[in-house]
Amino acid sequence: MRSQWLSEFALSEKDEQRLDNFYRDIQQESELFLGYPCNGIFDYSPLYRFLQYPLNNVGDPYLPGNYHLNTHDFEREVLGIFQQLTQAPEGNTWGYVTNGGTEGNHYGLFLARELLPNGIVYYSQDAHYSIDKILRCLGLNSIMIRSSSDGTMDLDDLRETLRIHRDVPPIICATIGTTMKGAVDDIVGIREIFHDLALNHHYLHADAALGGMILPFIDNPPPWNFLSGIDSISISGHKMVGSPIPCGVVLAKKRNVDRIAQSVEYIGTLDTTLSGSRNALTPLFLWYAFHTVGISGFKKIIPDCLQMSDYAIKHLNQLDCHAWRHSYSNTVVFDRPLASVTQRWQLACQGGISHLITMPHVTTIQIDRLVDDIKAVKPVPVSTCDSFTACETAIGGSGQDIILVGNEDTNILTDVSAALASAGISIEDLTAIKVGEGNVVKLKVSDRDRSLKILNQTLDIGRCYGQSLPFDTNEATQILSRVDYQAVSGDALLVELEDKAGTLAMLMKQCREQQISIRSVRLLWRGKEKAVVELASSEPERLKELLADRVLVN
Ligand SMILES: *Cc1c(COP(=O)(O)O)cnc(C)c1O
């Protein structure tokens, strides 16, 4: 009956083709999936039959409700497994299967706010981007704490900041495996600060999206879980466990949760979760993973992932890429390669660094191919650098400044200052330098990352910081001629050169003679006679000496 009704609504041939093409594209892209921490290996086909039913886990997984097509039994078992993995005190933790790490963080900070309505949230510069948004949703006051260069929260800065705000209860959002560098914040150190400053009311949420499924399976992990004193934790399910649908779990102390429970008559249960209707398939997937791969399987898989990280580090470092990782993390950080490489391999970048994450699906063959790709484009080939247009492009480094390069007549100063002012960002310092008929502007702003985003949007900059560049030089040149100005990051040198054939080749030759290796070269702007080029080098000081008065900004 039901299927008869549906057969009237078959797809057209064209649409069938569209799906087939999409399927092929996905298959291809999945071969080049190195940059994001999502395990691509799973087989949930025995569960496909459950896709026929409108399953829904609405309501509290621990309480009976009126919607019976649910997987609450499986959900509770999954939560039980994660309670063990996080060393939660038996019977004292509550939780549910979320739509992902972000929802778990939202829930954890929501709980914290209910418990400490006047609290201030402290989180590090390296915290996940979702934290900012969640804080705004919840209307929480917050202070960002500096990160150390290894990606962990700088506890000296935290201590100083907490000392100043001793009258307000702290809510700490610690990261257990930062997104970019895989760093784990020092939970014990944070609790010591609470103790030293006699801060008796506090809340500690752990964002363990990836780390929460790695640390339980390695020897001597840093402290990170309920045993170390956290109050709640969020772990992603689609990252290390692997799932075709994003998911995660959040766990929190039961006595805290009881304070915000609300009864809802319509569904006949307590409304304790952030979402109303909730995915009922993902608890089944997670349950299936833990009943097939299981704890013993992950105990093998995760050390294998770390070995694969070491393989990547070894081979990247043969190319002088400065690759490293934390001992407890499968995130490999290395010098940002050219855009063609980061695009092809879906590598996330931040300033001058990129990372790859050796999830279970990553093979030595893929690493070898990545390394070959980096090798192929790495040294700027002097022979092809006869004129600027023949040069490959790349975005270099990170820094505190934003640099804009453009034609003088583009009203760059008016546009930029208006855009930033309307977003409430103040310009703290500004330098403008004239080059031929062009203009180089250096800005120091109160919020650099947001400013870059805003400049990207407002100024319609085709090639801007953090965005991928077209590798094809013709295409790059075309885009360059279309855009008026572009933002670049601040740690590379901006150099003024004569725009004529051979100038850059000469410069490259000099660098080579002086044994200064150039990481990237990028043509930012060209006028009638002059051009501005961004050069990134592993020895910026020596490069600066060599270039002397041709350096515009550094
Ligand atoms: C991925 C990630 C998140 C977000 O998790 P989603 O499951 O993508 O919502 C949050 N925090 C950290 C540290 C992450 O790596």
Reported as half-sphere exposure (CB side, CA atoms, 13 A), residue 253 has a value of: 17
The answer for residues whose C-beta is within 8 angstroms of residue 509's C-beta and 6 or more apart is 382
Token reading at 526: 């060209």
Residue type at position 171 = I
Mean pLDDT value of segment 532-544: 79
Res 486 pLDDT > 50: no
Residue 329 appears among annotated catalytic residues: yes
> Which pLDDT score, from 0 to 100, does residue 35 have?
81
At 395 the pLDDT is 26
What are the pLDDT digits (tens) for 213-224?
999 999 999 999
How close are the terminal C-alpha atoms of the chain, in Å? 72
Query: What pLDDT shows up at residue 10?
Result: 87
At 235-244, the pLDDT tens digits run 999 999 999 9
Least confident of 121-125, 195-199, 443-447: 443-447
Residue 5 pLDDT: 73
The mean-pLDDT minimum among 59-63, 297-301, 312-316, 503-507 falls in 503-507
Residue 228 has which token pair?
């170390």
What's the Cα-to-Cα distance from 309 to each of 8, 129, 191, 300, rounded to whole Å? Answer: 52, 24, 31, 15
pLDDT at 442 > cutoff 60: yes
Q: Ligand 1 centre and the CA of 77: distance in Å?
A: 23
Q: Find the range with the poorest average confidence among 324-333, 374-383, 447-456.
A: 374-383
Structure tokens belonging to residue 216: 């339980």
Predicted pLDDT of residue 409: 54
Average pLDDT value over all residues in the chain: 83
pLDDT higher than threshold 70 for residue 145 = yes
- The whole-number pLDDT of residue 515 equals 84
For the CA of 177, the closest atom of ligand 1 is 13
Helix ranges restricted to H, 261-377: 281-292, 294-317, 339-344, 364-377
- In the chain, pLDDT over 90 holds for what percent of residues? 55
248-151-536 Cα angle (round to 5) = 120
Binning pLDDT at 50, 70 and 90, where does residue 553 land?
low
Binning pLDDT at 50, 70 and 90, where does residue 98 land? very high
For residues 87-99, give the mean pLDDT.
94
Highest mean pLDDT among 89-93, 245-249, 338-342: 245-249
Which residue puts its alpha carbon closest to atom 15 of ligand 1?
179
Residues whose CB falls within 8 Å of the CB of residue 217, separated by 6 or more in sequence, listed in order:
295, 298, 299, 301, 302, 303
User: What local confidence, expressed as pLDDT, does residue 537 receive?
Assistant: 78
Best mutation site among 184, 210, 236 for ligand 1 pocket (most ligand atoms within 8 Å of CB): 236
Chain centre distance of CA 320: 24
Of residues 418 and 229, the one with the higher pLDDT is 229
DSSP string spanning 169-226? Answer: -EEEEEEBS-TTT--B--HHHHHHHHHHTT--S-EEEEE-TTGGGTGGGSSSPPS-SG
pLDDT at 473 over 70: no
What's the rounded Cα separation, in Å, for the pair 306 and 47?
30
Q: Phi-psi category of 327—alpha, beta or left, where left has phi over 0 and alpha has psi -120 to 50?
A: alpha
If one compares 484 and 80, the residue with the highest pLDDT of the two is 80
Q: Which residues line ligand 1 (CB under 6 A)?
A: 100-102, 128, 130, 175, 177-179, 207, 209-210, 236, 246, 248
Q: From atom 2 of ligand 1, which residue's Cα is the shortest distance away?
A: 209
Band (pLDDT 50/70/90 cuts) for residue 2 is low
The lowest-confidence range among 257-266, 304-313, 322-331 is 257-266
Mutate which of 38, 205, 207 for ligand 1? The one with the most ligand atoms within 8 Å of its CB, which is 207
DSSP 74-128: HHHHHHHHHHHHTTPPTT-EEEEEESSHHHHHHHHHHHHHHH-TT-EEEEETTS-
Per-residue pLDDT averaged across 460-465, rounded?
35
Residue 247 Cα to ligand 1 middle (Å): 10
Q: With a cut of 80, say whether residue 266 has pLDDT above it.
A: no
Among residues 200, 150, 138, 140, the alpha carbon closest in space to that of 175 is found at: 150
Residue 474 has pLDDT above 50, yes or no: no
Q: Give the pLDDT of residue 436.
A: 64
Distance, CA 214 to ligand 1 centroid (Å)? 14
Q: What is the distance between the alpha carbons of residues 480 and 4, in angstroms, rounded to a whole number?
A: 57
Helix, strand, coil tally for the chain in percent (to 5): 40, 20, 40
Does 398 score more than 70 pLDDT? Answer: no
Residue 146's contacts (CB-CB under 8 Å, 6 or more residues apart) are 124, 125, 153, 154, 157
**Catalytic, out of 329, 398, 451, 520:** 329
Would you state the pLDDT for residue 88? 96
| Beta partners for residue 324, in sequence order | 333
More confident residue, 408 or 526: 526
Give the pLDDT confidence score for residue 461 in this predicted structure.
Answer: 39
Mean pLDDT confidence for 78-89: 96
Please name the residues in contact with 471: beta carbons below 8 A apart, sequence gap of 6 or more.
338, 339, 340, 343, 377, 392, 393
Compute, in angstroms, the gap from residue 459 CA to the centroid of ligand 1.
30
- Pocket residue to mutate for ligand 1, from 107, 109, 123, 130, most atoms within 8 A of Cβ: 130
Q: How far is it, in rounded angstroms, from Cα 106 to Cα 137? A: 9
Task: Give the ligand 1 atom nearest the CA of 236.
Answer: 7
Distance from C-alpha of 263 to C-alpha of 273, rounded to nearest angstrom: 11
Distance CA 418, CA 427 (A): 11
From the CA of 36, how far away is ligand 1's center (Å)? 10
What's the pLDDT score for residue 24? 94
Q: Domains plus CATH for the chain?
A: 52-292 (3.40.640.10), 296-376 (3.90.1150.10), 389-546 (no CATH)
Going by their DSSP bridges, the two strands 348-350 and 331-335 should be labelled as unpaired
Distance 208 CA to ligand 1 centre (A): 8
Residues 6+ apart with CB under 8 A from 26: none
Residues 6+ away with beta carbon under 8 Å from 130: 101, 102, 105, 106
* Ligand 1 nearest-atom number relative to CA 178: 13
- Per-residue model confidence (pLDDT) at position 440: 67
The tens digit of pLDDT for each residue in 277-322 reads 999 999 999 999 999 999 999 999 999 999 999 999 999 999 989 9
The radius of gyration computed from the CA coordinates of the chain, to the nearest angstrom, equals 26
Q: How far apart are CA 470 and CA 489, in angstroms?
A: 18
At 9-44, the pLDDT tens digits run: 889 999 999 999 999 999 888 888 888 889 989 999
pLDDT attached to residue 36 = 85
Between 493 and 119, whose confidence is greater?
119
- Per-residue model confidence as pLDDT tens digits over 424-436: 787 777 766 666 6
Per-residue DSSP letter, 10: P
